[in-house]
């Protein structure tokens, strides 16, 4: 049905109009035709953003794993569901067919049951990117247990906070993990965390690196022997449409992490639909998303969305620079990847290296390139387009959030004309509004404002675990009857959206609103610059002035030219105007980043405010060591 796979621009507009005129009919048709249900819904949608309460497909009964696995067995039993590419390129890739996935998920589900896990129980999964991660997620869903995956790069403190917040009964982990040429002692981290977690009764341990670990009696068990004994058939638990499927934590600007709760039916329908359209997915395609399943991107677009479409989804255990900076491109050639989905931070890091790393591989299988996680700057967009896509693969710049469950704004490849740095148009069913600071909706184009969603979409988070009030305050109180994203966006003359970044990153200089993203964009255009971050610092006359942290391409380069500073400001002046010029430019060896690759501007702000005593916890950063170096070279001391 055309609703489900949009093929040209006119059709997009038709489908979009229909989805707005009658959202219930639109989603109902998709739900009816493309999924298996045990019982049909009584009501497609009921909602009230003032509470907030949203229910999709109320009364329906289903199990998401039947939709992601069982129903494919007849026609795709021998098709690869998960293609596992290990950290070490010399280790063989593993092709897990739909039939094998079915058996492994069933066995795992039976082990969970045997260990006392029941429908509604929370299970924390703290695993590296190995098949057991996807399998354990699905095994939880099979029996109706709520999974809470914690990215296996988080510290023991971060882990214990999350375990306790949702009262997990069990932790699934591994002895350790590989990361490039290093190993990480995951079980040790879990042991530390569990000193603080009385709620955890049992720990299942997968073997990955064969390290010697401590097994606590009556609590810890090796996974494999249990799996070996388990039956490979486990009847799926029949769930209500609105039963929680999982909890996933996301950090707020203040306070402890928020456990976003996603429910079953709407999430399934929405991630499947967006996967199909945004990646123009066809039956024989090999699809690869480089994210970790510890983030929402991995939940929705490594596991659920692809599998609901019977796709082959690549799971990569390693890192982009091991054994060298060509690894991503080598994997694309090796598995003939058709759709490749990654983050701007990865693109920028790889663009910094010699072109040879890209050019030595055959990337002709690629049809669609995706990006997600932060605004993609002009330079990175073009590098991706020119050198990876060879100007032949459309780039889908997908804007969405942990809270939205699935992509919200994105081009549809080969349908929506792309525009560098623009996420372009809302996907069907997504009704947006831009708001001004007074809380009024801005109707005209060529403006920027605060990005809101005014109507429910099926994959939206339903609450924050254990704190519905916070859910309401964070997302539904800034603007009446609207979901507030926390992002700023610009709408151009044709209605394309460009996400300008979190509104808390906006800096007001001499009364002018300046977004950090466009300034960084401009800085990055200077040919000597690899990456940059801009924050505001207190200024007597302007209120706030701009402080730029700049990584030069020649990483060994420590000489700092006054000329370079002038040139960078020249580019900014040309691109934005003299108002956006930087007052201070510090050349740095790196920028503090979260594990998911986001620049921690909060830390940079503290440094420029000369408030380094209050940096907060930097131990969960990807690269805590750069903080010291930045403080040392700071220009505000
Ligand atoms: C925030 C959500 C959803 C996947 C991973 C991030 C920023 C996300 C884009 C994009 C510009 C983007 C927003 C958003 N963001 N995608 N294509 N262009 N900004 O999930 O950790 O929940 O972060 O990431 O600021 O609010 P998340």
Q: Probe ligand 1: pick from 399, 421, 430, 448, max atoms within 8 Å of CB?
A: 399
The atom of ligand 1 lying closest to the CA of 400 is 3
Per-residue pLDDT tens digits for 161-178: 899 999 999 999 999 999
Task: Report the range of poorest mean pLDDT among 40-44, 218-222, 259-263, 346-350.
Answer: 346-350
CA distance 411 to 235: 39
Task: Report the range of poorest mean pLDDT among 510-519, 560-569, 582-591.
Answer: 510-519
Q: What is the dihedral of CA 388, 392, 393, 396, to 10 degrees?
A: 100
Long-range contact list for 622-629, CB < 8 A, 24+ apart?
622/153, 622/592, 622/593, 622/594, 622/595, 622/597, 623/590, 623/592, 623/593, 624/592, 626/588, 626/589, 626/590, 626/591, 626/592, 627/592, 627/603, 629/588, 629/589, 629/590
The atom of ligand 1 lying closest to the CA of 295 is 5
Per-domain residue ranges of the chain: 9-489, 510-636
Q: What order do you get walking across the sheet with 483-491 strand by strand?
A: 441-442, 432-435, 447-453, 483-491, 497-502
Ligand 1 centre to CA of 408 (Å) is 10
The atom of ligand 1 lying closest to the CA of 499 is 11
Ligand 1 centre to CA of 203 (Å) is 32
Per-residue pLDDT tens digits for 602-623: 899 999 999 988 888 888 888 9
- Whether the CB-CB separation of 180 and 325 falls below 8 Å is answered with no
CA distance 525 to 553: 12
Is the beta carbon of 487 within 6 A of some atom in ligand 1? Answer: yes
Fold match, 9-489 / 510-636: no
Per-residue pLDDT tens digits for 193-241: 999 999 999 999 999 999 999 999 999 999 999 999 999 999 999 999 9
The fourth-level CATH superfamily of domain 9-489 is ANL, N-terminal domain (3.40.50.12780)
Ligand 1 centre to CA of 262 (Å) is 17
Q: Taking 90 as the threshold, does the pLDDT of residue 394 lie above it?
A: yes
Q: Taking 50 as the threshold, does the pLDDT of residue 115 lie above it?
A: yes
Average pLDDT of the segment spanning 296-308: 98
Q: Is domain 510-636 annotated with CATH 3.40.50.720?
A: no
Residue closest via CA to ligand 1's atom 8 equals 373
Ligand 1 centre to CA of 374 (Å) is 5
Residue 378 in tokens: 């002009």
Summary mean pLDDT of the chain: 93
CA distance 281 to 274: 10
Per-residue CA distances from 226 to 113, 114, 140, 360 (Å) = 11, 9, 16, 45
Query: Is residue 209 helix, strand or coil?
Result: coil
Q: Taking 50 as the threshold, does the pLDDT of residue 1 lie above it?
A: no
Question: What is the reported pLDDT for 533?
Answer: 94
């Amino acid at each position: 049905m055309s609703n489900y796979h949009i093929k040209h621009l006119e059709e997009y507009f038709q489908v979009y109009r229909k989805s707005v005129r009658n959202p219930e009919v639109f989603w109902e048709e998709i739900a009816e035709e493309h999924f298996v249900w045990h019982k049909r819904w009584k009501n497609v949608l009921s909602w009230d953003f003032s509470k907030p309460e949203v229910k999709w497909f109320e009364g329906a009964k289903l199990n998401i794993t039947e939709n992601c696995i069982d129903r494919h067995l007849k026609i795709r039993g021998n098709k690869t569901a998960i293609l596992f590419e290990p950290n070490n390129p010399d280790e063989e890739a593993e092709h897990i067919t739909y039939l094998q996935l079915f058996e492994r998920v069933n066995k795992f589900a039976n082990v969970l049951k045997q260990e006392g896990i029941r429908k509604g129980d929370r299970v924390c999964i703290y695993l590296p990117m190995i098949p057991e991660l996807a399998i354990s997620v699905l095994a939880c869903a099979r029996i109706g247990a709520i999974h809470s995956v914690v990215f296996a790069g988080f510290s023991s403190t971060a882990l214990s906070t999350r375990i306790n917040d949702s009262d997990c009964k069990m932790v699934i982990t591994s002895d350790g993990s590989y990361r490039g040429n290093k190993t990480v002692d995951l079980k040790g981290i879990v042991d530390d965390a569990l000193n603080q977690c009385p709620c955890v009764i049992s720990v299942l341990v997968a073997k990955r690196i064969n390290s010697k670990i401590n097994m606590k009696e009556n609590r810890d068990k090796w996974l494999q022997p249990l799996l070996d004994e388990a039956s490979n058939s486990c009847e799926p638990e029949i769930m209500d449409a609105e039963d929680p499927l999982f909890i996933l934590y996301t950090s707020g600007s203040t306070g402890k992490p928020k456990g976003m709760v996603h429910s079953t039916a709407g999430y399934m329908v929405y991630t499947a639909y967006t996967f199909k359209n945004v990646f123009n997915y066809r039956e024989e395609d090999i699809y690869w998303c480089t994210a970790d399943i510890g983030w929402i991107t991995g939940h929705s677009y490594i596991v659920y969305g692809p599998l609901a479409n019977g796709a082959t989804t690549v799971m990569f255990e390693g890192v982009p620079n091991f054994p060298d900076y060509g690894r991503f491109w080598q994997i694309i050639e090796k598995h003939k990847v058709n759709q490749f989905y990654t983050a701007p931070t990865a693109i920028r890091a790889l663009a910094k290296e010699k072109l040879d790393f890209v050019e030595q591989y055959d990337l002709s299988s690629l049809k669609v390139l995706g990006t997600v996680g932060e605004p993609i700057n002009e330079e990175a967009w073009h590098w991706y387009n020119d050198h990876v896509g060879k100007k032949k693969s459309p780039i889908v710049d997908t804007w969405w959030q942990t809270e939205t469950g699935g992509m919200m704004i994105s081009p549809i490849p080969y349908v929506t004309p792309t525009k560098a740095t623009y996420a372009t148009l809302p996907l069907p069913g997504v009704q947006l509004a831009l708001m001004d600071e007074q809380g009024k909706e801005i109707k005209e184009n060529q403006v920027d404002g605060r990005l809101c969603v005014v109507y429910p979409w099926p994959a939206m988070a339903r609450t924050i675990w254990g704190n519905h009030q916070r859910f309401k305050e964070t997302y539904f109180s800034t603007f009446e009857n609207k979901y507030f994203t926390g992002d700023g966006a610009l709408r151009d003359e044709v209605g394309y959206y460009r996400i300008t970044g979190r509104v808390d990153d906006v800096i007001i200089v001499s009364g002018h609103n300046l977004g950090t993203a466009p300034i960084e964009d401009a800085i990055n255009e200077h040919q000597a610059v690899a990456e940059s971050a801009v924050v505001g610092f207190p200024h007597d006359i302007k209120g706030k002035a701009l402080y730029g942290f700049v990584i030069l391409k020649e990483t060994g380069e420590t000489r700092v030219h006054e000329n370079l500073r002038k040139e960078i400001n020249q580019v900014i002046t040309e691109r934005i105007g003299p108002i956006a010029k930087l007052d201070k430019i510090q050349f740095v060896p790196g920028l503090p980043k979260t594990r998911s690759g986001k620049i921690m501007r909060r830390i940079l702000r503290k440094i420029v405010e000369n408030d380094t005593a209050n940096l907060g916890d930097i131990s969960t950063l990807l690269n805590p060591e750069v903080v010291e170096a930045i403080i040392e070279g700071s220009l505000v001391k």
